[in-house]
Structure 1
Amino acid sequence: MSQRLIDSMEDARRRTLALVEGLDSAQLMGPRLPIVNPLRWEIGHTAYFYEYWILRRHLGLEP
């Protein structure tokens, strides 16, 4: 189960990076809207949850 989860998460990471690789800094920040987080923040938020819940909690690894 753990290897399948790792493979799925690595695939999701590759796909996410492929989607944003051509964006510049301004595009990653996007427009300032009170109800929308910048894309850069959303990517970081996703990375944090992966690191915390998958690497630390599920696999017992240190960051």
Structure 2
Amino acid sequence: MQNKEKMLETYEDYLTQRIEYEKRMKELSAEGFALEIEALEKHLEAWKRKIQMAKTKEVECTK
């Protein structure tokens, strides 16, 4: 009987650790997506500035 109880406790520990692991992976995934989105937003802003500068130079050249 003790072996069965020990096995059940071990499996319970395994499941608890697995749940914690999956929760952490979900958090890391969300953090990763947030960082990727932030990087893309910064990249977009840089392109908008480049486009604006190009338009400004184009206007100056046509004057």
TM-score (normalised: structure 1)? 0.36
Bigger RCO of structures 1 and 2 (CA < 8 A, at least 6 apart): 1
Q: State the structure with more CA Rg.
A: 2
Greater helix content: 2
What TM-score do you get using the length of structure 2 for normalisation? 0.36
